[in-house]
Amino acid sequence: MLQRTVTSVVLVLAAFLVCARPAHAQQTVNFTLGHFSPQTFDSRTRGDVLNENSTFLLFDQDEFGGASIGGEWLVGLGNFFEAGAGISYTGQSVPAVYQDFIDSDGSEIDSDLELRLVPISFTVRLLPFGQRSPIQPYVGAGLGIINWRYRESGEFIDFGAGNEIFEDTFEESGSSTGPIFVGGVRFAGQRFTAGGEVRFQDAEGDLPNDFAAPKIDLGGWTYNLTVGVRF
């Protein structure tokens, strides 16, 4: 229901954007640099593979967070609203070892868990102070199309074959949709803007039977610094 509502809002306001006169609309090319923090274990979707892996692997879930870079095109819809379309990237590889098993030579049975996210966002924002104010707080929401890849590579134990240790790589990728919420403040001059914002995305991907669980939670928080060029 939430996804359908957000999608409807974005489509309606996108129609306004198409009908607007570009020469009269404030436009900004925005660049973002920030940090992505994934959902914590107790907030992740039911059937999430990282939650399941944590029952037999040791790894630091916080290491799936990391640098996020992106860009966005913003177009004013009158004085108090604007629409945006953007793309960003974040990706991390996290080492993991089995909790209760070691190799016959005493070494750890280790692997790498990798998650890459490329969210494409379509948002609509409210600017209560207006486009002409030098200080511009804003809140907004929209739809995210999150391109993702999850991979596990290294050493694994086949518990159905006498705890045999083998090396392999398991990988799945796809695109998932979900809501995006954004809030922040920027300081706007005649040609440039600078500020900070917080984004939240909520989506999940489906995994095949090769993995320990059927889902991968793609949600999390992104804390950005923003710099924009206005024209």
Q: What is the number of other CB atoms lying within 10 angstroms of the CB of residue 48?
A: 23
Q: Where are the chain's structural domains?
A: 2-16+28-47+60-93+115-148+174-230
Q: Residue 102 in contact with residue 94, Cβ under 8 Å?
A: no
Q: Minimal CA–CA distance to 216: which of 182, 173, 163?
A: 173
Q: What are the residues whose beta carbons fall under 8 Å from the beta carbon of 226, sequence distance 6 or more?
A: 30, 31, 32, 184, 186, 193, 194, 195, 196, 197
Digitized pLDDT (tens) for each residue of the chain, 231 residues in all: 444 444 544 454 455 445 444 445 789 999 999 999 999 999 999 999 999 999 999 999 999 999 999 999 999 999 999 999 999 999 999 999 999 999 988 899 999 999 999 999 999 999 999 999 999 999 999 999 999 999 999 999 998 878 899 999 999 999 999 999 999 999 999 999 999 999 999 999 999 999 999 999 999 999 999 999 999
Q: Are strands 135-158 and 164-188 parallel, antiparallel or unpaired?
A: antiparallel
Return the CATH number of the domain spanning residue range 2-16+28-47+60-93+115-148+174-230: 2.40.160.20
Name the one residue in this structure whose structure tokens are 């002409």.
Answer: 132
User: Residue 53: what are its φ and ψ, rounded to 5°?
Assistant: -60, -35
- Alpha helices for 27-106 (secondary structure H): 49-53
Calpha distance 133→111 (Å, rounded): 52
pTM: predicted TM-score of the whole model, two decimal places: 0.86
